Amino acid sequence: VDIARLLKSFSHILRLLENVDYVRSFVRYNNKRRSGPPRGVRAATRCVIARDAGRTRADAAGIQQFCVYFAQGCCTAGPHCQYLHRAPTEQDTVTLARDHSRDCFGRDRARHDKDDRKGVGSALRDCRTLFVHYGGAGGLSASEVQQLATENFGEWGRIRKVYVVPAKTLVFVQYEARCSAEFAKEAMQAQGLTGSGAGEVLEIKWANDDPNPGVVRQVKRRRKCLCEP
């Protein structure tokens, strides 16, 4: 009998048993949130970093992926979660920027230029700018919407630019880092702009590529690297 192998198998079983509650909550919320709330209905939960952030098993294990359910405000695993419960930092930006194939939650990004504006997004796109429809708050002025968007979306990372198109009740939010935009997209989908008092429900997609020449060159280089064997 190989005692070492038996002990290794036993310890593996113990780890699985420790994670039973996590797996159950993961499956339950995955089924619940897969399709999201009906269009026009606000999400039942919302993440508040100042209240909800904390250390998890991911911090001790050195795991660099964030918890998508924490971002949505509905993770029940708490400190036992296998993923990070906080917003991305500047150090995360540097680390995660090295891998264009996955988002900050560890999900695979599309390796071809498909129309995945509602989903994880394409590895061939910049994916730092969010396309936000704020229909219910159409009575607010452009400056009011810009201020509210900056305050609400600023919780998830450093913002480079906020551009409002009041005639179409749209606002474009561009982040400095891709991981911040990815986190914000999950955190703010089907939420409202806190402070608006208008009862709007945000619908968020990835914006089209930034026409800035510098960004275009970066995207081309990225596409070339991904296409090379």
Supply the pLDDT for residue 125: 84
Higher pLDDT: 168 or 217? It is 168
3-state SS, residue 120: coil
Model confidence over 33-80: pLDDT tens digits?
Answer: 445 667 789 999 999 999 999 999 999 999 999 999 999 999 999 999
Ordered structural domains, the chain, with CATH: 37-229 (3.30.70.330)
Model confidence over 156-182: pLDDT tens digits?
Answer: 999 999 999 999 999 999 999 999 999
Supply the pLDDT for residue 159: 98
Q: Is residue 226's pLDDT more than 70?
A: no
Angle (nearest 5°) at CA 182 between 119 and 18: 90
Supply the pLDDT for residue 78: 97
Structure tokens at 60: 């001790």
Distance CA 81, CA 87 (A): 15
Model confidence over 96-140: pLDDT tens digits?
Answer: 999 989 999 999 998 776 666 888 988 888 889 999 999 888 899
Taking the model in full, what pTM does it have?
0.78
Helix and strand numbers (H, E) in the chain are 9, 4
